[in-house]
Amino acid sequence: MIGSIGGAGGGSLLTAVMKEATAAQDVEFALIKKSQDIEKANGESALKLIASATAAASSGGIDIHV
């Protein structure tokens, strides 16, 4: 039993742990990238909304004076 924990098995265990850590980092990176994409899309939508409101106000369709 103790012989199976020796050097040969330890290398494969280390490799498995490193692969697991790399996979976890890949998932975290993908989540961050997706969050950035969503924030970019929200920002673009906000800019379009502001532009359309500005266009409607400048055409006389909306009274912007309070």
User: For 22-54, how does the pLDDT look when each residue is reduced to its tens digit (9 = 90+)?
Assistant: 999 999 999 999 999 999 999 999 999 988 888
Distance CA 6, CA 60 (A): 81
DSSP type of residue 1: -
Distance CA 16, CA 10 (A): 10
Q: Kindly state whether residue 14 falls inside one of the protein's structural domains.
A: no
From residue 44, give the alpha-carbon distance in Å to each of 21, 32, 37, 49. 35, 18, 11, 9
pLDDT score recorded for residue 11:
79
Q: Kindly state whether residue 62 falls inside one of the protein's structural domains.
A: no
Range of the domain at 51: 24-57
Q: Kindly state whether residue 44 falls inside one of the protein's structural domains.
A: yes
User: pTM for this structure?
Assistant: 0.59
